[in-house]
Structure 1
Amino acid sequence: MQATGSDSALFDTLRKVFGFREFRPNQERIVRAILNKRDVFAVMPTGGGKSLCYQLPAVLLPGTCMVISPLIALMKDQVDGARANGIRAAHLNSSLCPEERTAVMHDLLSNSLDLLYVAPERFTLEQFREMLGRVNISMAVIDEAHCISEWGHDFRPDYLSLSALVTLFPDLPVTAFTATATHLVQQDILDKLSLRDPLVVRASFDRGNLFYDIRFKENSGEQIAAIVRSNQGKAGIIYRTSRKNVNDTTAMLKAKGFRALPYHAGLGDEERKRNQDAFIRDEADVIVATVAFGMGIDKSNIRFVIHADLPKSIENYYQETGRAGRDGEAAQCTLLFSQGDIPKVRFFIDTITDEAERARVLAAFSKVIAFASTSVCRRKTLLDYFGETYPHDNCNSCDICLGTREVIDATTESQMLLSAIARTEERFGATHIVDIVTGSRNQKIRDFGHDRLKTYGVGKGREKKFWRQLIDELLARKVIAKSEGLFPMLYLLPKAVQVLRNEEKVEIVRVREKKATGNVKNLVEGSYDHELFDLLRSLRKQIADELGIPPYVVFSDRSLRDMASILPQSDETMLSVSGVGEVKLQRYGQQFLALIKKYRKEHPEETSRLPILPR
């Protein structure tokens, strides 16, 4: 198809190839700039539709669009997805055997590809660059562009070679995309790539379909199991910091009957790939993983992400939570947080020998603690980090905004804790101090004679959870501190004297959870036929298995929900479903229409309320 920026060519391709009737925010501007051979730099959040911004011009422009991406594990899925829409796509990386590489090179040299995905390492090879001189390249795309910045959270030295792209392709558009970049990282990327008068697009970082939820971490195993149970049968990722925690959490979930698999660097390459493929193909619902997992995942229907340990930076947190809800449907992001986790991360930070790097990592981690501790809207705090102002007072989709905030004067309770710490000569940890104030009868309390202290049992009217949260608050306010070592002990800081003398009040903000989970559930479920949706999912899985591709490549969850909502009966109405273009209609449409027709016949009472659609 010849390059043109005309409305008819643009919107016909959008509808027929991709199955969409309109562009998402910023997409049309970017597409038109590329078609006019202008360089582009775009910061767009995950789920914002970055791939369409270059795939659509790749279809319209003569020649091959070269996409440079570090995500080798993801390339095949991206190629499968493009091919499912009728786009001629291939990837060239170390995962291919010699015969496969030869076939891709033949297609490339014969001008038979619209899209070619390559790893940055291949671009550094002189032989590959020379070969590009014999190929009709339409444009160059740099995906995950933050990897070129040493200020970013995922710097990769191989990306530095990409600064040569503007020299190599002086007359072609060079574009760069990333989902996460502060203003500092953005400027660093622009400087390193030397883009020529680029269109710079900084989309909103607001993922409106994500619900942000931070909970006090007390019994992480039970808390994780409860969240998974409330999302039974839905896809989710649980992030843990250590391999041991990954294995333990996976074993716990399996013992409770959940379809969970582990993913970490300690597993063999084959087992990691097998587990990742099982998750992508809906054969496992939950992946428990270290942060090594996710960069190679294009799964669109992840409904929840749990951080059971603290992430190292806001960028990491944003990127990892961003793997949920890529299809635009509602998803839940939960972080379990306790001040007790802070020393564990600090231990690893303190082992960094480079002083400047250690200071940078510590500063990034401090912002995570501030984010987890704040009583301000989570969305507002996240957007503020990326230099964006959230315009509303209440986002209605975070634990703060959906909870009832109340300020409690906890000065008296704080004095109880401080007195217990002082009376035990600052020789015990948080659990023992809480046991004293709540009047525990355990053996350790009796052995030390702490059941005879004045503070013994003074706080038994409140749950242990309250006291543990209050200790966290006193640690955060630097009223008390923890000693280093395997068995950290609490001790008083100078500010404790002021609290004990009533010279300083301790007020804490408590968030009482209110309809949070139910709200997310309602957002996800919506008004569609759930039984039909499950049948459509089963058919999608069957087709995907036969073709050897991930189910979401056939149709996204959103497409299936649309089908289960409007129950299309004809090609025309099937084409009105989001994500159904002409190629997908031709390849898969009749099987889904037949299933819907059969369902309508067997459930007349369920479908009689639906509008009559054209046949």
Structure 2
Amino acid sequence: MPKRYANMHDALKTVFGHDDFRPGQEDVIDTILSGQNVLAVMPTGAGKSLCYQVPSLLLDGTTVVVSPLVALMDNQVAALRANGVAVSCIHSGQDRARNVEEWKRVSRGEADMLYLSPERLMTDRMLSAMAQIQPPLFVVDEAHCVSKWGPAFRPEYAQLSQLKSLFPNARVAAFTATADEGTRVDIAAQLFGGNGRMIVQGFDRPNLSLTVQPKVNRSAQLIDFMKGREGESGIVYALSRKNTEEHARALVAEGYTALPYHAGMPADVRFENQERFIAEDGIVMVATIAFGMGIDKPDIRFVYHVNLPSSLEAYYQEIGRAGRDGNPADTVLLYGLDDIRMRRQFITQEDSDQDHQLREHKRLDALLGYCEASTCRRQVLMAYFGETIPPCGSCDVCENPPDRIDATDAAIALFQAVQDTGERFGANHVIAVARGAETEKIRQFGHDQLPSHGTGERWGDGFFKSLVRQAIATGYLQVDMQRYGRLVVTDAGRKLVSGEGAFLMTEPKAPKPKRDRKRKVAPDLLDQADQELLAKLKGLRRDMARALGKPAFIIFSDATLIDMAQKRPLDRAQMLSVSGVGETKFERFGEAFLDAIN
């Protein structure tokens, strides 16, 4: 279809209603428009979607966007259509007649973009159809799924490596928020043979505070964290569906508005909960990792993990959903020995080869190292992604530097208990042996007769649990998942027992309360009258979204409503000066919002 925009800035303003690009966006768009392949690694909230949507409005032909989730496709397509973009979408959630009609629009040259899943694109029939239209650009979203080196490899994504040979004249643009150096190199090699640009934006999100705490009582720790956060929006990530429901109930019992979200819930209930979270203030979503991808809510003030994520990449992506408005947001991660055992178990139970499992264990090791960091936590996180930064001053380690102590004697007592019991038991049992406990299990196995029984009676249970976590993180102990999570002493641990070296550890201590951070967004930006108007505009947006059966952010984002409440436009020209109000959105929704303001 003929292109209607003079250049990228014209498209940005006319369609999306923005005066300026965010940092880094123009470089990616220029690269695509110049005909080069590109892999862009951009942090969550950096606006990667615009980096391929704008070129699609300027290139001749239909851009093909490969996306992994039906819900993500539907949301992006609905948002683009609300902005007046001609876009088609084909996926398994639509009936055949609808998919046929969507393709006819593409074949007639009436669509700037076509959204597809990788499985749908890489069929012989679809590839033959693609050969007839010769797309100028293939976009691979969530590109870390391409790489076997990545933590979220999906076999159907691997077939996308054929695109460059099948369509040599097309550009390939790949986007992801999280990929370490090895994964980045592999993605570029798979998708375009390394023949293209790699644009890596900074990973650091300085507005996010980072805190890690050992698990004591997950529910009580979560409730304690929530004190003083009434009215804030946040996400609580839990490992299982059952825990999701339990933590949501606990928060509701304490007076918070909390909603569960997991794959086992009916689709309509999940949709309604997601819509309330996006549209309303002060809702806490308690969710499994099924929630979060594609969520466009800028004022999420905290992300709280009650369980250990799968890797540093997953953790970075999940905390990246907080503070996308640039204002301070808090992240907290709880973890305990049971988390380590469960994560090891998940890896060994995967249907994957030994090399992949080894990489996953190493990824988990890196996450444990982050959890047990005794230096600036942000430095450790950024170093994993290949960046060097000075100490941040705002993580828990910087604010409350841990004391390092010589725990060699305690470590030897514990490691000897592991060895004396035949490396056949988990942490709780060997700690009990080292401390000289007289449990029924210890008597049953005769472990009260071992030389190591009671050699660690000077130290408490909590001290030893911290020592075990740190010994695993630093490679003195391993969790053997082939043998049900039993502890095993490594070469480093055996050397320590034989008298070589010392074991230094961070002394366990109760976390100090974090200093007060300015968290609430609207009161900082808006006076009382503007806040009242903002609430009215959000209510109007919610009602319109429900009438349309679409997510609220598709009408206007929170950032747009805040700008609207501040500027109080009185006519069309003034409304078009509001960030995020393009010409098509004004025609569809603008008059109703002008009436509300006036």
Interval containing the TM-score (normalised by the shorter chain): 0.7 to 0.9
2:61 to 56, 60, 63: 63
1:404 to 400, 424, 427: 400
Q: 2:238 aligns with which of 237, 240, 251?
A: 240
Structure 1 residue 542 and structure 2 residue 567: aligned? Answer: no
Matched residue, 2:158: 160
Matched, 1:190 2:188: yes
Question: C-alpha separation between the residues in 2 aligned to 1:428 and 1:161?
Answer: 42
| d(CA) in 2 for partners of 1:302, 1:156 | 29
Aligned counterpart, 2:391 = 394
| Alpha carbons of structure 1 residues 467 and 249: separation in structure 2 relative to 1, 3 Å | same
3-state SS, counterpart of residue 367 of structure 2: helix
For 1:15 and 1:127, the matched residues in 2 are separated by 38
Matched, 1:366 2:362: no
- TM-score, normalised to structure 2's length? 0.81
Aligned 8 A contact 1:37 1:173 in 2: yes
Gap regions ≥5 residues in structure 1: 438-453, 598-615
Q: What is the SS of the residue equivalent to 1:20?
A: coil
> Is the aligned partner of 1:12 residue 2:7?
no
Amino acid at match of 2:561: L
Paired residue total: 577
Question: Residue by residue, what CA displacement relative to the aligned partner does 1:84-133 show, whole Å, maximum 9, x if unpaired?
Answer: 22212231101112332233123222222122111111112222222223
Distance 2:126 2:488 in 1: 61
Residue pairs, 1:58-457, within 5 angstroms: 58-135=56-133, 137-194=135-192, 197-228=195-226, 230-267=228-265, 272-273=270-271, 275-276=273-274, 279-280=277-278, 282=280, 285-295=283-293, 297-351=295-349, 354-390=353-389, 393-401=390-398, 403-407=399-403, 409=405
1:407 counterpart letter in structure 2: D
CA apart distance, 1:298: 4.7
**TM-score normalised by structure 1 residue count:** 0.79
Q: How far 1:523 sits from its partner (Å)?
A: 6.6
Q: How far does residue 340 in structure 1 lie from its aligned partner after superposition?
A: 4.8
SS at 2:403 equivalent: strand
* Alpha-carbon distance between aligned partners in 1 of 2:428 and 2:129, rounded to the nearest angstrom: 65
Residue 142 (structure 1) shift: 1.3
Q: How far apart, CA to CA, are the structure 2 residues paired with 1:201 and 1:487? A: 41
Secondary structure, counterpart of 1:25 in structure 2:
coil
1:562 aligns with 2:563: yes
Greater alpha carbon shift after TM alignment, 202-211 vs 565-574: 565-574
- Shift in Å, 1:336: 0.9
- Alpha-carbon offset, residue 36 of structure 1: 2.6
Distance 2:375 2:485 in 1: 33
Alpha-carbon distance in structure 1 between the residues aligned to 2:198 and 2:469: 43
Are the equivalent residues in 1 in contact too, given 2:211–2:396 (CA < 8 A)?
yes
Deviation of the 1:28 alpha carbon: 0.9
Check the 8 A contact 2:344/2:479 in 1, yes or no. no
| Structure 1 equivalent of residue 449 of structure 2 | none
Please state how far the C-alpha of 1:198 moved relative to its aligned partner. 1.9
> What amino acid does structure 2 have at the position aligned with 1:383?
M
Is the contact made by 2:223 and 2:251 (CA closer than 8 Å) also made in structure 1?
Answer: yes
Q: Secondary structure at the match of 1:260?
A: strand
Partner of 1:577: 578
Kept after mapping to 1: 8 A contact 2:5/2:11 = no
In 2, the alpha carbon distance for the partners of 1:360 and 1:331 equals: 31
**How far apart in 1 are the matches of 2:429 and 2:524?**
44
SS at match of 1:106: helix
C-alpha distance in 1 between matches for 2:193 and 2:295: 29
Partners of 2:297 and 2:557 within 8 A in 1: no
Are 1:430 and 1:490, in contact at CA under 8 Å, matched by a contact in 2? Answer: no
Q: Secondary structure at the match of 1:519?
A: coil
Counterpart for residue 447 of structure 1: none
Contact 1:5 1:32 in 2 (8 A): no
Question: SS at 1:67's partner residue?
Answer: strand
My pick for the range that moved more, 16-25 or 570-579, is 570-579
Unaligned runs of 5+ in 2: 436-453
Deviations 1:154-200 (A, max 9, x none): 21222232223223333332211122222211221222222584232
> Per-residue deviation at 1:486?
9.9
Q: Quote how far apart the aligned CAs of 1:370 are.
A: 0.3
Residue correspondence of structure 1 range 567-606 to structure 2 within 5 A: 567-597=568-598
Q: Secondary structure, in 3 states, of the residue corresponding to 2:401?
A: strand
8 Å CA contact 2:233, 2:281 repeated in 1 = no
SS at the partner of 1:237? strand
User: What do you get for the CA RMSD once the two structures are aligned?
Assistant: 4.5
Cα distance in 1 for partners of 2:298, 2:570 equals 26
DSSP-derived class of the 1:312 partner: coil
- Once residues 297 and 76 of structure 1 are traced to their aligned partners in structure 2, the CA distance between those partners, rounded to angstroms, is 12
Identity fraction in percent:
37
Q: 1:567 to 1:466 in 2, by over 3 A?
A: farther
User: In the TM superposition, what is the alpha-carbon distance from 1:477 to its structure 2 partner?
Assistant: 6.9
Partners of 1:185 and 1:472 in 2: how far apart? 28
Q: 2-side partners of 1:88 and 1:575: how far apart?
A: 21
CA distance in 2 between partners of 1:262 and 1:35 (Å): 43
In the TM superposition, residue 45 of structure 1 has moved relative to its aligned partner by: 1.8
Do the aligned partners of 1:41 and 1:200 also contact (CA within 8 Å) in 2?
yes
Superimposed CA distance per residue, residues 476-515 of structure 1 (whole angstroms, 9 cap, x where no aligned partner)? 6789999999999999x8899899xxx9685636788677
Q: Deviations over 1:406-452 (max 9, x none)?
A: 5265869969x98xx99xx9999869989x99xxxxxxxxxxxxxxx
Superposed displacement of residue 366, structure 1: 0.8
- Cα 1:74/1:290, change in 2 over 3 Å: same
Separation in 1, partners of 2:354, 2:130: 42
Mapped to 1, the partners of 2:356 and 2:479 lie a distance apart of 25
- CA distance 1:115–1:405, change in 2 (3 Å): same
Letter paired with 1:41:
L
Secondary structure, counterpart of 2:206 in structure 1: coil
